[in-house]
Amino acid sequence: MRLDGKVAIVTGGSRGIGASIARRLAADGATIAVVAHRAREKAEAVAGEIVAAGGRAAPFQADVSRVADCERLAAEVVAAFGTVDILVNNAGVYHPLPMEETTEALWDAQIDINLKGSFFMAKAVAPVMKARGSGKIVNITSTLGVVGSSAGAAYCASKGGQMLLTKALGLELGPHGINVNAVGPGATRTDMNAAIRAQPGREERMEAIAPLGRYWMEPDDVSGAVAYLVSSEADAVHGAHLMIDLGWTAW
Ligand SMILES: NC(=O)c1ccc[n+]([C@@H]2O[C@H](COP(=O)([O-])OP(=O)(O)OC[C@H]3O[C@@H](n4cnc5c(N)ncnc54)[C@H](OP(=O)(O)O)[C@@H]3O)[C@@H](O)[C@H]2O)c1
């Protein structure tokens, strides 16, 4: 399998898109550190599923907005599995609110988890990857990293920031054999948008204008792109932002 012998950290691997990425990289042969923030039992469940399917995985817990947690997580994964070959910065929060309702705490949470966490997780694993002269980092951004939203300035800023972080880290880490890329999902059916999906008539309105006639993706629609980018097939792909969004940002 194409990821045999590789060790991958998937932040936010306990639910939604991250759980799908964890399962997919495990199916491709990687050993997975499934990371949750609060709900450790969900990381245990995803890791348990992977092990039951014949793969290798273990649950971990960290708040990626805290630099000390990023460093501790990287050290725990190295202690458990010997190295880190792949980092998927997937943990994220989304508070789609207008300016008036965006408090300092909500601004900080989105910037600190989505953007600051991606940088400090990369910083925490970089020494291991540099020492080996290889590694793959994928940042999970969003369509809202390339187009705006009238109720989501903090989220858009965090996701747009992750996009440029991908390029900047690519320049810094590329000479050490570390590929840095980003995947930008469109609307994907997860807990993150349960309230939005519950709005009557919204799905129909969005589908009426969706380029492929489908608005919502499933987490598995996203994980294949990540599996490609962390594989050797993508060794020449660097600093790229691959949109997986049913064409949403094509117009
Ligand atoms: N769903 C979409 O439509 C969509 C679209 C574009 C981009 N994205 C991006 O895709 C990524 C995954 O989204 P999702 O929809 O799968 O989200 P989700 O279902 O809400 O899951 C979020 C994950 O992030 C973890 N997390 C939250 N805060 C954290 C923290 N401080 N430290 C570490 N982990 C933390 C959660 O862990 P706990 O459960 O333990 O808190 C959970 O595993 C995010 O970066 C999101 O911005 C999503």
CATH code of 108's domain: 3.40.50.720
What φ, ψ does residue 180 adopt, rounded to 5°?
-125, 120
Polymer length in residues for the chain: 251
Using the mean position of ligand 1's atoms as its centre, give its distance from the Cα of residue 175 in Å. 30
Is residue 249 one of the residues assigned to a domain?
A: no
Question: Helix %, strand %, coil % for the chain, to 5?
Answer: 50, 15, 30
How many structural domains compose the chain?
Answer: 1
Is residue 89 one of the residues assigned to a domain?
A: yes
Whole-angstrom Cα distance, residue 17 to residue 15? Answer: 7
Angle, vertex CA 89, rays to CA 202 and CA 170, nearest 5: 115
Is residue 130 one of the residues assigned to a domain?
A: yes
Is residue 163 one of the residues assigned to a domain?
A: yes
Q: How many CB atoms lie within 10 A of CB 238?
A: 17
What would the mean pLDDT of 224-244 be, rounded to a whole number? 98
pLDDT for position 233: 97
Which residue has the least CA distance to atom 43 on ligand 1?
12
Is 21 a pocket residue for ligand 1 (Cβ < 6 Å)? Answer: no
Is residue 83 one of the residues assigned to a domain?
A: yes
Is 182 a pocket residue for ligand 1 (Cβ < 6 Å)? Answer: no
pLDDT for position 251: 81
pLDDT for position 1: 63
Is the model's pLDDT at 181 over the cut of 70? yes
pLDDT for position 188: 97
Is 58 a pocket residue for ligand 1 (Cβ < 6 Å)? Answer: no
Is the model's pLDDT at 23 over the cut of 70? yes
Is 96 a pocket residue for ligand 1 (Cβ < 6 Å)? Answer: no
Is the model's pLDDT at 245 over the cut of 70? yes
Using the mean position of ligand 1's atoms as its centre, give its distance from the Cα of residue 15 in Å. 7
Q: Which ligand 1 atom sits nearest the alpha carbon of residue 192?
A: 20
Q: Domain limits at 22?
A: 7-243
Check if 155 is active-site: yes
- Express as a percent the part of the chain with pLDDT over 70: 100
What would the mean pLDDT of 148-155 be, rounded to a whole number? 95
Q: Which ligand 1 atom sits nearest the alpha carbon of residue 222?
A: 10
pLDDT (tens digit per residue) in 95-119 = 999 999 999 999 999 999 999 999 9
Is residue 248 one of the residues assigned to a domain?
A: no
Confidence band, pLDDT 50/70/90 cuts, at residue 85: very high
Is the model's pLDDT at 183 over the cut of 80? yes
> Which ranges of the chain would DSSP assign to H, the alpha helix?
16-27, 40-52, 67-81, 104-110, 117-132, 153-173, 194-197, 202-209, 219-229
Highest mean pLDDT pick, 13-22, 192-201, 207-216 = 13-22
Is 12 a pocket residue for ligand 1 (Cβ < 6 Å)? Answer: yes
What would the mean pLDDT of 189-212 be, rounded to a whole number? 92
Confidence band, pLDDT 50/70/90 cuts, at residue 67: very high
What would the mean pLDDT of 197-219 be, rounded to a whole number? 93
Confidence band, pLDDT 50/70/90 cuts, at residue 162: very high
Query: Which one of 11, 93, 121 would you pick to mutate in the ligand 1 pocket, going by the greatest count of ligand atoms within 8 A of its CB?
Result: 93
pLDDT, the chain, mean: 97
Is 18 a pocket residue for ligand 1 (Cβ < 6 Å)? Answer: yes
Q: Counting beta carbons within 10 angstroms of the beta carbon of residue 72, is it exposed (0 to 12), middle (13 to 18) or buried (19 or more)?
A: middle
Is residue 27 one of the residues assigned to a domain?
A: yes
Is residue 50 one of the residues assigned to a domain?
A: yes
Catalytic residue (one of 94, 155, 215, 228): 155
